[in-house]
Amino acid sequence: QIQLVQSGPELKKPGESVKISCKASGYTFTDYAMHWVKQAPGKGLKWMGWINTYTGKPTYADDFKGRFVFSLEASASTANLQISNLKNEDTATYFCARDYGGDFDYWGQGVMVTVSS
Amino acid sequence: DVLMTQTPVSLPVSLGGQVSISCRSSQSLVHSDGNTYLHWYLQKPGQSPQLLIYRVSNRFSGVPDRFSGSGSGTDFTLKISRVEPEDLGVYYCLQSTHFPWTFGGGTKLELK
């Protein structure tokens, strides 16, 4: 069955970096793009961008240009999200989600990233 | 950016009842390829969102026919009939016609 399994929760200090992973199984990883979605505590969903899992090319929404990097370990069917120079407002749950022709049919369980001094 | 406005924000319902959620976009969601990329998700407490309806009116695999989507252009509706306990949570619409993709603010379906 199709699964997206994300890495565990992270507690970081402002200015530090974090890398979270999303391991896919049950399908051919390079056939479907992967998206990233942010959800701040008690808030709604915000689309961050996506990565072409065949070419490795990332596309970022404007609010996520600069400190955010999408990458792949295609041999391991894994997509990664790295956030550098963490700020308090980066505290959120980050989801990966598979692109199904313009929508998201499968989601990871989410990774809670807490930024606190 | 395309603004997605969902109403109501909170929707009290009795089990077995019927409800409708509205999602309006600030511009037409008809893509140049002729498709309309408007989708609906349910996020149950403590869970990841799950796809209910894709491209306005297509139920995703395993979604009961109590859920139906309709609409066109800028005005879309999700209807839920015979509401069951597992339907409670926050509903979001998503447009993926225009960059950047944008979600509605959410509608919380809760028991009266």
Give me the mean pLDDT over the B24-51 stretch. Answer: 97
d(CA B19, CA A7) in angstroms, rounded, equals 37
With an 8 Å Cβ cutoff, are A102 and B51 in contact?
A: no
Q: Which residues of A touch B (CB under 8 A)?
A: 37, 44-47, 49, 61-62, 95, 97, 100-105, 107-110
Q: How many residues does chain B have?
A: 112
Least CB–CB distance from A47: residue in B37, B55, B103: B103
What percent of chain A is modeled with pLDDT above 70?
100
Q: What is the mean pLDDT of chain B?
A: 97
Please tell me the distance in Å from A77's CA to the nearest CA on chain B: 20
How many DSSP H helices and E strands does chain A contain? Answer: 0, 11
For residue A74, pLDDT over 90 is answered with no
Q: Are A50 and A36 spatial neighbours (Cβ–Cβ below 8 Å)?
A: yes
Query: What is the token pair recorded at A28?
Result: 């051919």
Beta pairing partners, B58: B54
For B51-90, the pLDDT digits (tens) are: 999 999 999 999 999 999 999 999 999 999 999 999 999 9
Tell me which amino acid residue A85 is.
Answer: N
Q: Is B67 in contact with B57 (CB distance < 8 Å)?
A: no
How do residues A40-60 score in pLDDT, each as one tens digit? Answer: 999 999 999 999 999 999 999
How far apart CA B101 and CA B16 sit, in angstroms, is: 34
- Give chain A's mean pLDDT: 97
Going by C-alpha positions, the residue among B68, B6, B66 that lies closest to residue A44 is B6
